[in-house]
Structure formats: C-alpha cells, structure tokens
Structure 1
Amino acid sequence: MDEHDGLAARFESERGGLQAMAYRMLGSAGEAEDAVQEAWLRLGRVDAGRVENLAGWLRTVVTRICLDMLRARRSRREDLTEQHLLDGFPHAAAGRTGASAPEEQALRTDAVSHALLVVLDRLTPSERVAFVLHDMFAVPFEEIAPVVERSPDAAKKLASRARGKVRGGPAVPAAELARQRAAVTAFLSAARAGDLAAVLAVLAPDAVRRADAAALPPGVPAEVRGARAVAEGTVLLAERSRMSELALVNGSVGLVAAPGGRLLLAVAFTVRDGVVAAYDVIADPARLGATELGVLD
C-alpha cells in the first residue's frame, strides 16, 4: 500500500463520523457529503505527514467548511413561498411520500429527529457549530473556540445559548406537559394509522381544526368544527401525519412536519380533560417564523 492509499484508508475510517457531524450542522445529507468531500480535497493539498492528529484536523476542517456554508445560506435565505409549502405535501405531487433519500435515511439511523434539525436551523451558525460539537460530539471548548473565532468562555456561552433555544421553554408545569404529550401522541398514532374511530376517541365532541391556506388542498375549508368532521379531515391527510414528529410549539406539546429537515408546518394543540379540543395547522411563512419551537426530552 503506497502513501496515498494509506491516507485514503485513514480518511475513509473517519468519513462516517465526519458525515454524521456535518449532517447535524447542515441538516442536509447532500451538503454534508459535499463538506466531507471538500475536506478530502483540502487534505490532498497539505503535507499529511506533518498532521499529527488527522482526526482532529479533519474535524476542524469539516467544521470550518460547514460554518462557511451556514453563513452563506443565512445570507441568501429567502422565506418559503406558499407553493414551496404545497410542493412538500403528498397532496401536491403524485407519488410523493415524504420519505428521505436513502443516504439521508442512513445518516438518521442514530435517531436524529427532523424536529431537532428544524430547531437547530433556527440557531446562528456559530451557535449551531458550538452546540453540535460540544453537546453531540463532546469536543472541548478549547478546540471549538478557534473555529468560531471566540474565546473558550465565549464558545461555552454560545453552546449554552443554543442549548436553551433547542430545549425551548415549556409554558405549563411538567404534569400538564405530560398530559398534553399523552393526548397528542395518541392523536398522532391514530392519524398516522388513518383510524377514524381512534382519532374520534382522542377528540373533544366540539373539537375545532383551523389551518392556514398554505397547508390545505384546494377546496378544503380553513376551519372545521365538530369531532366527526375534524376526524374525517385528519384521516384524509394521514400521509402528512406520518411525516410529523412531536415538538414544543409555543411552549406546549405539538407537532412539526419537516421532511428532509425542512420545516413545512407546525401544529399547535389545545388539550382539555385529556383530549384534543382544538388544533391549529401553521404553514404561513410569517406565522411559522414567529412560532417558538423546541425539542421535547
């Protein structure tokens, strides 16, 4: 084995970990692969024999590449249009299931939720990098600091601030949050199964469903009242429920739908006496931007 083959073998041994890290930073399997491949190209332009800690060197390079990509993305980011939202839903494109691409599925085998990726996407680039490196990969702040161009103490504050945003702020006591979670979990399970009776069982008789126009197929009313009508509409959109995950929405237990880690909608619930009294489907870009989201423990 020549020197190049040996270096390639060492790089391949690190590839999986680098892609997992880049995926959490970028929320995109394709961009994560691009970042790791760029690191390989940069490795070819240095004297690898002088790199004492190849794993650390690669981690730093991939992190800097990801940070640059996040900053570029933030500078050009545009609000989602209504058509973008509709294109993401099963009713908008025949044959679309909302499933991730195979490579993205592979990166998610360690249970990185799309809800987490959505919340991470709301952090600043430096916050996201500091949080991912420290909280997910146990990288010390002394190593994170030069990458984010901060002191170790400042990098620690970045991660702490990010941690608070990721966890969100529950608006109710823990016991009430648990009751909400039980009701929303039961609702989601029934909706995913398309089980009309099961959906009815978790709805109050006078349940109400409200939704932004961007979240609805043509001809579906923005507001529906009564358990039977709400349940029937919920069952018709069972496929959308299958791409949804639990999350904190405005401080209460709700849902986010984010195929591929890209937020399409959030659902805010009103739970009363252990059942769903109302739910509001938020898909308007302005409303989504103003909605507080967090990851449930």
Structure 2
Amino acid sequence: MITAENLTKRYGKTLAVDALSFSAPRGAITAFLGPNGAGKSTTMRMVMGLDRPSRGSALIDGKRVQDLPAVPRTVGAMLEMGNHQPRMSARAYLGWQAHSARLPRTRVSEVLELTGLASAARRQVGSFSLGMRQRLGIASALLGDPENLILDEPINGLDPQGVLWVRSLLTHLAAQGRTIFISSHLLAEVEAVADRIVVIGRGRLITECSMAELRERAGTRATIVSTPDAKKLVRVLREDGAQVESELSAQEVVRVFDRSASQVGEMAAEHSLRLHGLLQEKVTLEQAFMELTAGAVEFRDGGQEPSATAVPSAMSDGDPQ
C-alpha cells in the first residue's frame, strides 16, 4: 500500500506539491492524474525517496522507502526514461541491476520473457525503439517481484499490442493483491484499466475516488434516440417537461437530457412510437477530467500566458527538478 500524508514540496518560492494526502490500496490499480505542471512527477519521486519532502510523509507499506529492508522486493518503479545504459545489452543491463540489488540472476530471464524482450535480450539498449525501452523499464521495475509497482507513463510509445499487454499485466498483478500506482496522459487507456483515480492540480488534491464513484458522481450526459417518429417523440417528451434537442435529418436523432433510456423507451411504447436506437450516453473519464481540472491548467490554447502561480515546467509533467 502507498500512502501520502500532508505531502509538501517547495523549490525556493515555488510550491510544487501542497499538503497532498491520498492512498493507493492493495489489489487495485490507482491512476494518478493531473494536467501538466500538477506535481505528479515530484510526488512520485518523493514516494520513491528521490526527493525529500519539505513537510509530510510518503510511505510504502507503512515505511519510508529509505527504511525498507529490501527495496526491490517491496517496490519497483519506472519514473523516468533515458537512464538506461545504451551500450549494454538488455540482459546485461538487467543483470547489473539484479546484482546490485542482490537478486537472483534467474529473475533476469523471467522478466525478459514476461515483457516480451527475450528475443532482443542481446541487443544494445541504444538500438531499442521507444516502445522497447518502455518494456525494459517495466522489466527493471519487476526484477524484485515487488508487492508495490509505481509506473510513470507506462503506455507511452507502445503499439496497440503493447498497450493491451500492459493492461493485461497490470490487471493480473493487481488481482494478485499488489498495489499498482500509475500516471498517464492517455485517459482512454486509464479508463480501461484503472480501479481508482487520484487527481491533482497545482500540487493540490482535486479528487480521490473509485472509477465507479466518479461515474456515479458525473451521472449521464443524455439519452440518444434514433427514431422515424422523431417529431412525435419530441412533442411527447416536451409535454412531459423533458429537455430535448432534435436533429431532424435522415437519421432523425433526438437527444434527451433529463430522462433515462428506460424512461424514454416506456414513453415511446405508451404512444406507439417506433425506436431504432436507444443509447444512454455516459460521461467519459476524459470529460470528467477536463471538468475537474478546469481551474488548474497551466497552459491553455489561444496563446494565453501561464498563470503567475503555475508551477514552472521542467520535467515530463512540468514538475521542477
């Protein structure tokens, strides 16, 4: 389990992370989200003991990472790209890491196989594509077979097959009771795999909840109806006080904003109106994210200057070094 309590980080006068508290429980995939400059990378670095908090604490299984008796067996992390040794082979690179962490050499072959890199094990890392380097980073994080996994942008650079592999891997590891903590800007992929979300903006917590709670809180956008009896259905719905928009084209689509699909279907049946399609439009994670973070975006379209209080951009998600 990963927990943060009142976690705060200052760089001079810049407040990068501000009294942030959250948890990532065992047996679940928790997605850590926020706009550029939100403080995600700084937070993850503090969890891994790479940056010292100005105040507060970040704990893994109840301990600071510095106090863990066997770090690689407790937590594995992929936080930054570009730290691999380009002239080493993948096998040599992982073997060096295993030796440094006093892990069995047999584990190198296991993670190479697990991440699909066995056939490229003797190739120099410098010749790897971005997707292959991502797989190597995940292999490195898995070397100690840890109970907690922290991955920053694990899907970046992967082809569709690789994305499906990451989904399957993370779901499998979470089902084993491990803590999975990931950050990503690919919200559609997060929605496909995450059980919980933690959203921050300008270093502060915006929301922490399960995906089910987010969907329940966000509700539905509209009921979309395809019907050849659109004019009659619109009249019936408006007489009932419903808010309706209609597109009287060849497809005759009606959007109903304050009635469920079952309610619309029942009203249509009562008036003997034909329906060719009935869909309840749900709020996507992307839509919910945009609404949640509307006031915490560092850079906006249209040439607007960054906010005076925004955190300066220097790392993958805009965090200071």
TM-score by length of 1: 0.26
Between Structure 1 and Structure 2, which shows a larger proportion of strand residues? 2
TM-score by length of 2: 0.25
Which one scores higher on RCO, CA 8 angstroms, separation ≥ 6?
A: 2
**Structure with max Cα Rg:** 2
